[in-house]
Amino acid sequence: MKLLVSNDDGIFALGIRSLANSLAEAGHQVTVVCPDRERSATGHGLTLHKPIRAERVESVFHPSIPAWACSGTPSDCVKLALGALLDEPPDMVLSGINHGANLGTDVLYSGTVSAAMEGVLEGIPSIAFSLSSFAVQEFQPAASFAKTLVAQLSAAPLPEVMLLNVNVPAIPAAEIAGVAMTRQGLRRYFDQFEKRVDPRGKTYYWLAGEVIEEVNEPLLESAEALKLKGTDFDLAWFQQIPTDVQAIGQNYITVTPLQYNLTCAVGIANLQGRKFYLEA
């Protein structure tokens, strides 16, 4: 398969080298286009008010892999690759392997997920891979699963264009409990802004905080819920599917299908009878 690989941790990150090299060694035609430095938590930001530069990078990846370091965001990298650097579209866009999990609402901030979502916006199936630890440096179990998953999807393609958000527990391969199909959970943070003063006496703030893993989840209220309520699909069964936050805590690799349509269909239905007015 022709694969475009990007990330948000930058061109020299161990995660992207592990992913790209494993796939190249498996016989895939891999191209890397990723940021020239870490661009984590940039979301789906684009560079519009200054030029984007891309430089070829040698001797970082497998010899068969052409690679570019881009001055822009992860989404810029995929856009630039598809619009200018590649001669033809890839069969799949891959992002990662991210250093740290992208679970639940993390996907709204994640540059890793946004790079993959850019592929979906262009009609290309995409996968985002993340390792659920910032401290662990062993990416091989995640890279091995990525190789297996790409082979499976090559043999049996996805029924429609979507993003698979994959999180791999940061444990030895022998301790991984299996692979779980999951739904997106909730992962909220207790935000803390540390107030500091720079050498010139100016005040600045440094965002920190802790993850709140245990969050009570409301009943499923989304466009998907509204669609499912109008079918024979068992919605109660769907809501029993574990969330990515729950399953990763049980040492499962999580695979969560995502889409870019954030319309609250339930909200549209609930607001049908309400009238909004322009100020007189």
Q: Which of 49-58, 190-199, 233-242 has the lowest mean pLDDT?
A: 233-242
Q: What is the pLDDT of residue 272?
A: 80
CB 92 within 8 A of CB 23: no
Q: What integer is the mean pLDDT of 229-237?
A: 62
**In 249-263, which positions are buried (b, 16+ CB within 10 angstroms) versus exposed (e)?**
beebbbbbebeeeee
The whole-angstrom separation of Cα 64 and Cα 62 is 6
Q: What is the predicted pLDDT for the residue at 119?
A: 97
Beta strands in the chain (DSSP E): 2-6, 29-35, 54-56, 67-70, 92-99, 126-131, 163-168, 178-181, 188-197, 203-212, 252-258
Q: Is residue 191 part of a domain?
A: no
Using the predicted structure, report yes or no on whether residue 203 has a pLDDT greater than 90.
yes
Q: Please indicate, yes or no, if residue 235 is contained in any of the structural domains.
A: no
Enclosing domain of residue 102: 2-183+242-260
Residues 130, 89, 23: CA angle, nearest 5 degrees: 40
Task: Return the pLDDT at 221.
Answer: 52
Rounded to the nearest integer, the mean pLDDT of the chain is 90
User: Domain for residue 193, yes or no?
Assistant: no
H/E element, 256 = strand 252-258
- What pLDDT sits at residue 233? 59
pLDDT tops 70 at residue 225: no
205: three-class secondary structure by DSSP = strand
d(CA 89, CA 74): 17
- Measured CA to CA in angstroms, residue 68 lies from 7, 120, 146 at distances of 12, 21, 22
- For the chain, the domain total comes to 1
Residue 83 domain flag = yes
Report the pLDDT value the prediction gives residue 72, as an integer from 0 to 100. 95
Query: Is residue 210 in some structural domain?
Result: no
pLDDT for 189 equals 73
Reported as a pLDDT band with limits 50, 70 and 90, residue 214 is low
- Whether the per-residue pLDDT at 222 is higher than 80: the answer is no
Q: What is the mean pLDDT of residues 261-271?
A: 77
Q: Do residues 46 and 79 touch, judged by C-beta distance below 8 A? A: yes
Is the alpha carbon torsion for 17, 20, 23, 27 positive or negative? negative
Residue-wise pLDDT for 170-179, tens only, equals: 999 999 999 9
If DSSP codes are grouped into helix, strand and coil, which group holds residue 279?
coil
CATH number of the domain where residue 59 is located = 3.40.1210.10
More confident residue, 186 or 180: 180
The answer as to whether 195 is a domain residue is no
**Verdict on whether the full-model pTM lies above 0.85:** yes
What distances in angstroms separate CA 65 from CA 43, 145, 170, one per listed residue?
26, 20, 27
The mean-pLDDT minimum among 82-86, 143-147, 154-158, 187-191 falls in 187-191
Residue 64 falls within a domain, yes or no? yes
Q: Is residue 91 part of a domain?
A: yes
Give me the mean pLDDT over the 260-274 stretch.
Answer: 79
